[in-house]
Structures are given as structure tokens and as C-alpha cells.
Amino acid sequence: MKYLPWALGSVAGLMLQLSTASAIPITFTANLSGANEVPAVVSPGTGLATVILDPTAQTLQVNATFSGLTSPDQAAHIHC
């Protein structure tokens, strides 16, 4: 019984650390290239996409830049 307060304190501390760790925004990056397609395609177009997931704000921010496209960009989509 004398270990119960210590054990409860330890569990509470771990839970606090876990909740804090999950609140950190997570950044994903992707190099966009025809070579990354399946099957691969030959294209002069390239790009870079950055996605920031913020669990605290419950937001997903997407930024993408393209270059070398042979026609105007018309659509984009995200696979989750």
C-alpha cells in the first residue's frame, strides 16, 4: 500500500508526457516526380509538397509547388 501513491504518480507523469508528445505538429514532405509514380512515367514536371498535421488544433496544412509542367495544373488530391 505504501507504493500506491508512488505508482499513481508515475502513471500520471507518463500520461502527461504522452499527451504532450502527441500535441507536437508533425511535418511530412514529399518530392513529386514522374519516377515516383507506379508505373513510373517520363515527365519534366517536378514538385515538392509539405503537409503539417497539428493534432491540437485539429488541422492539416498542405503546401505544394510545381515546376516544369507541360500544361496548367487542374487538380490535386491527397491519399489518406
Give 48-52 contacts, CB < 8 A, sequence gap 24+. Answer: 51/27, 51/78, 52/25, 52/26, 52/27, 52/28
Residue 77: pLDDT band (50, 70, 90) is: confident
- CA 14 to CA 41: how far, in whole Å? 48
pLDDT of residue 20: 55
Instruction: Give the mean pLDDT of the chain.
Output: 81
Q: What does residue 77 show for φ and ψ, rounded to 5 degrees?
A: -150, 160
- CA 24 to CA 12: how far, in whole Å? 19
pLDDT digits (tens, 9 = 90+) for 10-40: 555 555 555 555 689 999 999 999 998 899 9
